[in-house]
């Protein structure tokens, strides 16, 4: 039985364990295994490194007490992967560094994501996994055909020009996200700026049942300790289930498999004396590998609270702090989208939903990358219509004779 007086922290990683799934094979009713090349196994590690970095950054920014956090960095990675195909020079270098794909070519990156998009949904016939991508651009904006073709071929991206001046374009994009996430993310954008030229969107939907379901009749109210001295009553599922665990003096790790052992939920609960935020800031690729390698099989009466919530955030600050600030600046180079337009990323918006109950888990996420024209510099003024400072000087020497300020030219 688990009764630690600390919050639960849930990292739901769609790519968990992929690096070890390198054998081909199909078992009747069991789906298929994921086949990965040696380079793709390294890219899985890179994707997980990005996931952990982004999670730590979001946790650091999540300063409001007792606020839940849930994201799919994989969704962000897909959207930024598509965007990378339009970047060049220092901008591409910065984006690949931020997403931990430095050292891989764009061709390798595109091939990896194509494998994920094509084969992840096929791994388990009892799990629904939908990964969808789309590109929406302003009607009349000249986009290089190679950029669209690459993202269509490798990311299976749906491409469509829209009249961004028509408010119905917002509805069109939101309806696409709503459909691809099975209604869990109903909207991703609220409006379209007059400078916005393109939206690159990823949507992920996941639904799977536990390998061993919890008995709903055993669900009961128990205290959940938001802090050691602040318990609240929550609905706890209760089951004598098979799972894996790892324990040390900072963390208790639980891995609960979904049907057919293709996916799992990993739960990290801080050990006594460690807060959930302290644990989050300790997470890195090395610790994660140690914890996953140390998992051992257990079977006991496990109690887990049911939960359901939505989360949304602007990722500009997080991604900027990870090293891709240039992509948001006037120095951005997206010349492989359009060689003459001055473009930058104006926003990376992410939304996610998760629901965990006795039968399993439903999760969804959507990410949109907005590509915007850099606003032209304001022309120099020709009307002196604001308060101003003035001076009277002798020109040859530069000697100032008088100086003053005019705040109200009609005042005497």
Per-residue pLDDT of the chain (412 residues; tens, 9 = 90+): 444 444 444 444 433 333 333 333 334 467 789 999 999 999 999 999 999 999 999 999 877 767 889 999 999 999 999 999 999 999 999 999 999 999 999 999 999 999 999 999 999 999 999 999 999 999 999 999 999 999 999 999 999 999 999 999 999 999 999 999 999 999 999 999 999 999 999 999 999 999 999 999 999 999 998 877 788 899 999 999 999 999 999 999 999 999 999 999 999 999 888 888 899 999 999 999 999 999 999 988 999 999 999 999 999 999 999 999 999 999 999 999 999 999 999 999 999 999 999 999 999 999 999 999 987 767 778 787 778 777 777 677 778 777 777 888 887 6
What is the CB-side half-sphere exposure of residue 63 using CA atoms within 13 A? 1
pLDDT of residue 412: 62
Say how far apart CA 272 and CA 102 lie, in whole Å.
38
Contact call for residues 200 and 369 (beta carbons, < 8 A): yes
Taking a C-beta distance cutoff of 8 angstroms, is the pair 192, 169 a contact?
Answer: yes
The structure's pTM equals: 0.88
**pLDDT at residue 29, as a whole number:** 64
Q: What is the predicted pLDDT for the residue at 14?
A: 38
In a domain, 401, yes or no: no
pLDDT value of residue 393 = 77
Indicate whether 390 belongs to any domain: no
CA dist., res. 374 & res. 371, Å (int):
9
Helix (H) or strand (E) holding 73: helix 73-84
What CATH number is associated with residue 48? 3.30.497.10
pLDDT of residue 31: 78
Whether 185 is in a domain gets the answer yes
Report d(CA 71, CA 185) in Å as an integer.
12
How many domains, the chain?
1
The answer to whether residue 258 sits within a structural domain is no
Beta strands in 289-359 (DSSP E): 296-305, 307-314, 343-356
Question: Which residue is listed with tokens 């390798």?
Answer: 108
The answer as to whether 225 is a domain residue is no
Residue numbers of the domain that contains 345: 9-209+307-373
379 assigned to some structural domain: no
Q: Which residue has the tokens 């001295």?
A: 229
Is 378 among the domain residues? no
The answer to whether residue 80 is domain-embedded is yes
């Amino acid at each position: 039985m688990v009764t630690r007086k600390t919050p639960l922290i849930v990292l739901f990683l769609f790519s968990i364990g992929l690096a070890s799934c390198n054998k081909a094979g199909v078992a009747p009713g069991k789906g298929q295994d994921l086949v990965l090349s040696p380079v793709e196994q390294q890219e899985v590690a890179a994707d997980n490194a990005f996931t952990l970095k982004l999670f730590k950054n979001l946790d650091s920014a999540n300063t409001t007490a007792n606020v839940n956090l849930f994201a799919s960095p994989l969704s962000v990675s897909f959207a930024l992967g598509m965007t990378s195909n339009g970047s060049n020079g220092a901008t591409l270098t910065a984006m690949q560094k931020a997403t931990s794909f430095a050292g891989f070519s764009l061709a390798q990156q595109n091939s990896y994501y194509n494998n994920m998009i094509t084969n992840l949904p096929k791994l388990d016939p009892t799990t629904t996994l939908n990964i969808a991508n789309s590109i929406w651009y302003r009607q009349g904006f000249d986009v290089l055909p190679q950029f669209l073709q690459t993202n269509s071929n490798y990311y299976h991206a749906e491409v469509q020009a829209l009249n961004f001046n028509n408010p119905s374009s917002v509805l069109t994009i939101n309806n696409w996200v709503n459909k691809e996430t099975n209604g869990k993310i109903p909207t991703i954008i609220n409006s379209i700026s007059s400078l916005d030229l393109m939206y690159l969107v990823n949507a992920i939907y996941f639904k799977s049942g536990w390998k061993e379901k919890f008995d709903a009749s055993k669900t009961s109210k128990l205290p959940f300790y938001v802090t050691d001295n602040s318990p609240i009553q929550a609905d706890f599922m209760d089951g004598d289930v098979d799972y894996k665990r790892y324990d040390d003096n900072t963390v208790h790790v639980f891995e609960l498999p979904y049907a057919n052992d293709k996916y799992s939920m990993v739960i990290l609960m801080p050990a006594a004396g460690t807060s959930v935020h302290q644990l989050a800031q300790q997470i890195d690729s090395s610790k994660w590998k140690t914890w996953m390698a140390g998992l051992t099989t257990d079977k006991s009466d496990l109690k887990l609270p049911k939960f359901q919530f939505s989360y949304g955030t602007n990722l500009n600050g997080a991604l900027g702090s990870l090293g891709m600030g240039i992509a948001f600046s006037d120095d951005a180079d997206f010349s492989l989208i359009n060689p003459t337009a001055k473009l930058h990323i104006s926003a990376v918006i992410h939304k996610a939903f998760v629901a965990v109950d006795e039968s399993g888990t439903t999760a969804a996420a959507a990410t949109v990358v907005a590509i915007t024209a850099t606003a032209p510099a304001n022309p120099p003024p020709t009307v002196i219509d604001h308060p101003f400072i003035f001076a009277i000087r002798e020109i040859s020497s530069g000697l100032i004779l008088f100086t003053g300020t005019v705040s109200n030219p009609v005042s005497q």
